[in-house]
Structure 1
Amino acid sequence: MKICALCLPAEVDKQIIDDLTETVSEDKRKRIARYLRHEDMLRALLGEILARLMICRETKIRSSDIEFYTNEYGKPFLRGVDNLFFNVSHSGSWVVCALDTQPVGIDVEKMEPIKLDIAAGIFSPVEYDKMQQKQEKEKKEYFYNLWTLKESYIKNA
């Protein structure tokens, strides 16, 4: 498995964004344009660019020849490329991509302040009890570690 992480700079020149936008499909450009927040648009754009870069390096396929498709659950895949799977995640300042010969999932989350009560509806009773037994300062880290693990697992399916 290969994993690549990109930490977004505080500012990106508009010309660079425009140039990068030209390297993705028309469909992706339309989806990116719908984002209301500039940061969300940039993360989505760079997630696709990062996936393309990793796929190009692994397969020697030109970026312009890569076509992404999505399955019925919205998970992206490459048609016509056997035994190569990828997944992208982005949050906060980070964009990550995992590439493997097996189905793969990856997740990254910015550790924002959160009401940990929501874990009762997300985690199993055992997981929730384990979180509740943690010291207060460790609960948020436990929540995010378990949450990203579960997200990665689901995205792998």
Structure 2
Amino acid sequence: MIERYKRSIISKLFVKIILEKYYKMNTKEINIVRDQYGKPFLTKQNMELNLYFNISHSGEWVVCAFSDCEIGIDIEKIDTYSPKIAKRFFSHNEYNTFLEKSGRERDRCFFDIWTLKESYVKALGKGLSVPFRSFSFSFNDNTITLRSDIEKSHWFFKQYEITSDYCLSLCARANDFPLNLKKIALSE
């Protein structure tokens, strides 16, 4: 619990540092507020800024994504899980894709799908009010395709390899993902 609390504080500080360093904003004038679903957004002197961000943390990582459009990010440490969770939250096709794998490849598949789902829900900004089974991902030749009953507009997805022990997924309205991520050590 304490570690999670520390990561939460670090992630908020991380956002402010990035805003100052890369966006040249005076963070004393910036507020991070949450909407009714808990999605964070930026305001400046009672006006919403046209800069979107999202945060996620797991294990030793805190990750942030910034964009001029809606964005969601999720990172998860690949760990043990209950196959019952996959059956409960994955679509029929996702679950079958998951079952086709074995061992570490199955673990990776589970968290690839899970982080995609989390990033999408976070980008939508509606929190857990969006049932995970109401949308589905499929994979074909390094292309990630979303099928959704709740959202008909286009969303784009990218997954990054940080280390072999973590899955990271990004979801955004625009398909302009960076090729590589910028890693910033806590000491910076």
Same fold (TM over 0.5): yes
User: After superposition, what is the alpha-carbon deviation per residue over 1:110-142, rounded to whole angstroms, capped at 9, x for unaligned?
Assistant: 122111221011110010011101123311100
Question: In structure 1, what is the Cα distance between the partners aligned to 2:27 and 2:49?
Answer: 17
Please list, as runs of the form range in 1=range in 2, the aligned pairs for 1:92-131 lying within 5 A after superposition: 92-131=59-98
Partner secondary structure for residue 105 of structure 1: strand
User: After superposition, what is the alpha-carbon deviation per residue over 1:68-105, rounded to whole angstroms, capped at 9, x for unaligned?
Assistant: 11111100001235320000001111100000001110
* Deviation of 1:155 (Å): 0.5
The unaligned stretches of length 5 or more in structure 1 are 1-36
Q: Is the 8 A contact 1:105 1:156 kept in 2?
A: yes
Question: In structure 2, what is the Cα distance between the partners aligned to 1:38 and 1:66?
Answer: 27
Q: More deviation in 90-99 or 55-64? A: 55-64
- State the AA in 2 paired with 1:55: L
TM-score (structure 2 length as normaliser): 0.61
Greater relative contact order (Cα 8 A, min sep 6): structure 1 or 2?
A: 1
For the aligned residue pairs, the C-alpha RMSD in angstroms reads 1.3
Partner of 1:64: 28
Partner of 2:17: 53
TM-score (structure 1 length as normaliser): 0.72
Please list, as runs of the form range in 1=range in 2, the aligned pairs for 1:134-145 lying within 5 A after superposition: 134-145=101-112
Q: Is the 8 A contact 1:116 1:140 kept in 2?
A: no
The aligned length equals: 121
Question: In structure 1, what is the Cα distance between the partners aligned to 2:32 and 2:49?
Answer: 14
Please list, as runs of the form range in 1=range in 2, the aligned pairs for 1:37-52 lying within 5 A after superposition: 37-52=1-16
Q: 103, 115, 140: which is aligned to 1:148?
A: 115
Q: More deviation in 39-48 or 110-119? A: 110-119
* Deviation of 1:55 (Å): 1.7
Partner of 2:52: 85
The unaligned stretches of length 5 or more in structure 2 are 125-188
Q: Is the 8 A contact 1:54 1:99 kept in 2?
A: no
- Of Structure 1 and Structure 2, the greater helix share is in 1
Question: In structure 2, what is the Cα distance between the partners aligned to 1:146 and 1:66?
Answer: 34
Partner of 2:168: none
Partner secondary structure for residue 98 of structure 1: strand
Deviating beyond 3 angstroms after TM superposition, the runs of 4 or more aligned structure 1 residues are: none
